[in-house]
Structure 1
Amino acid sequence: MNRKLTCSFGASLVVATSLFLGSCTQPGEALTDRKRRENEAEIEQYITQNNLNATKTEEGIYFIQTKAVPGAQVAAVRDEVRYHYTARRLDGVIVDSTDIAGNVPSTVILNGLNTRGITLGRYAGILKLKQGEEGFVLVPAYLDGGRVGSLLLPQYSPVRYDLRVVSVRTEDQQIESYISTNKINVTTKTAEGLRVAVTQARPDSVAITTGKTVTLKYVGKLLSGTQFDANTAGTFQVRIGEKQVVGGLESGLSTLRAGEKATIIFPSALGYDATGSGATILPYSPLLFEIEIVKVQ
């Protein structure tokens, strides 16, 4: 792949990169500008030496696809992506990776530039890959926000991320998978994606309607099983219709009666949506509540 580099060096491709970069330093150049230029030169040299057919993104990250799966599911904002990665320096030294041998991928919920728990370089690569596909990205340090420098990979070093997307799941797919895996018998499903599974029915007891005050026990969880809130003392109260709790929980309660027990599951649009809540409930997280209705007044 022919590319015009910042400095013309002809046969010096065989010379160590560090020596070449040192020879191109500009007088009075700021450190960040110099490192940016050096990163670009290192990556261009790597592409040329390895005869790679690289695509450069608008941001300046180089992408190379190694396995395509036509027709596979494409990841979008709100989706959960499970993926494996290996991070290495351009000299081939591996500096980090997921547990590939144990098949324990990393998980991320896509939320644009506000996505948590991933570097910008890995995020850019994931956006280029569909479920089951593989590829790698070559990332200048200044475009890899979220990465902390180390002895193996200093902060200003470019990096290569080899990526394999294991799965892409929408919120609805996550919920349906959870229901299937845990053999939950859904008794109510709404157009908004709310699911209610009554586990103890009291069909002749007082119904929960607007204006009623409900006393309940509950445990709130993510679909991963992580608990984020609970009140098992039976002292928590909600007045229906006054939006004292997230919409999915209030809507789920409104399908129940005094004395009933149920599992309520709903997508983030009925919960904390794009904002999330605290460090535990990330944006676009479906929520689950295990409920027992103590009293309805």
Structure 2
Amino acid sequence: MKKAFLIILISGTTFVCLAQSKKITAKKPVSATKTGTGIVIKSSLDSTSYAFGTSIGAGLKTTGLSTLNYEVLLKGLKDAFTGGKVLLTQQQAQQCINDALTKASLVKNKAEEAANRIKYAPIIKEGQDFLEQNKKRAGVQTTASGLQYEVLTPGSGIKPTATDSVQVHYKGTLLNGEQFDSSYDHGKPVTFTLNQVIRGWTEGLQLMPAGSKYKFFIPYNIAYGERGYGPSIPPYSTLIFEVELLKVNGK
């Protein structure tokens, strides 16, 4: 719509100018444009070629690639476009592209993670400090993964395995006490397979006999990690859950 409006506006302006001048003047020749590389754009073909180049470059930049051998890139572009002999098979070319994009993605993800760790450093420290103090409380036990749990109500039923389906009631809160979810509020328990939830739950629920109620204190790395979850759980959040294991459904 904006493009159409622009065309109409330009056309209308031209019409007014012609009406006022009452004569048609000859078009001035397009002056040559010199780019920063010394290449001179003299024709519409030059402009189109350069435009395609910038478009391809912008697209490649979004992949996370930081540099390429531009002379060889142009060679490959020319060979493919003109039907010349290509130096790599389609399979070899695709493998090179996949490897480069994978490497670029890893570098980009590491950079983003480092930046996020600085950004969310207060949340990370808050979680670490809380867990350090919490593990000193009577009744709180800590596993090798860093998961902390407290038995609120003992149970006498069977314990589930990682591949079992279970039925639970739960309430989840942040360290500041803000509740982000509760099956009690939904009015019914939830059923799921243990290996389909966050690692802290997968590990913790296997410690619980059916009929018991535990309180879990879950570090961010076995909860929702550096990404968090939706608007309610910020990245790097340590979480607290009260969980009732109502039933083990089996595999």
Normalising by structure 2, we get a TM-score of: 0.47
Higher strand proportion: 1
Larger % of helix: which?
2
Relative to the length of structure 1, the TM-score reads 0.40
